[in-house]
Amino acid sequence: MTIGEDLRKRLKGYEAIDGEEARAVAAVLALLGSETPFSAERFGPGHITASAFVLHPDEPALALILHAKIGRWLQPGGHVEASDSSIVAAALREVREEVGVGPRDEPWLCDVDVHVFPARHDVPRHLHHDVRVAFTADRALLVAGDGADEARWWHFDEAAGLERSVARPAAKLAEWRRDRN
């Protein structure tokens, strides 16, 4: 199964939380029907990326990085590479590179978002069709790595004050965590 087939299958069974997320799912599915949907050089209408909301093993918190290129607090993630076998594998690779943790439990699809990535140097402003997974970290120690100026745990109430692309899924995960405890 290709990464595109795997992602299409995951999205077919996914329930969007609201109209905004439903439109994002539809946009990703439409992009999957085109050539090179994962190519980082595809700027119109953008490309599919993978990221993860990493939950603290004990606290009501999630791992965020201070993104080195754009200077904002975001979840670990990035471009899908040819060597990635699935969207989950791409997200896990990015998490290991950026914060140095792995999953304690099986990652699950938790959010889909389409957002603007700002122009910088020779890269024009474009859309990231971001497919997000969530999992509990195998340890609490975060180490800022590739692409991260800083990495730290943010309590769910702190994350509520961040940009909508982060705050919306953080709120979903906070509710999920409350329901499980």
Instruction: Give 108-166 pLDDT, tens digit per residue.
Output: 999 999 999 888 888 899 999 999 999 999 999 999 999 899 999 999 999 999 999 99
For 3-180, the fitting CATH number among 3.40.50.2300, 3.30.450.40, 3.90.79.10, 3.30.420.40 is 3.90.79.10
pTM to 2 decimal places: 0.95
* Dihedral (CA of 107, 14, 98, 152) sign: negative
Q: Phi/psi at 129 (nearest 5 deg)?
A: -95, 90
**E strand spans, 47-90:** 47-55, 61-67, 73-74, 77-79
Residue with tokens 């997000």: 132
pLDDT at 2 over 90: yes
Compute the distance between CA of residue 13 and CA of residue 7 in angstroms, rounded to an integer.
Answer: 10
Cβ neighbors of 146 (< 8 A, separation 6 or more) are 97, 98
Average pLDDT over residues 62-69: 94
3-state secondary structure of 158: helix
H or E element in which residue 110 lies: strand 108-117
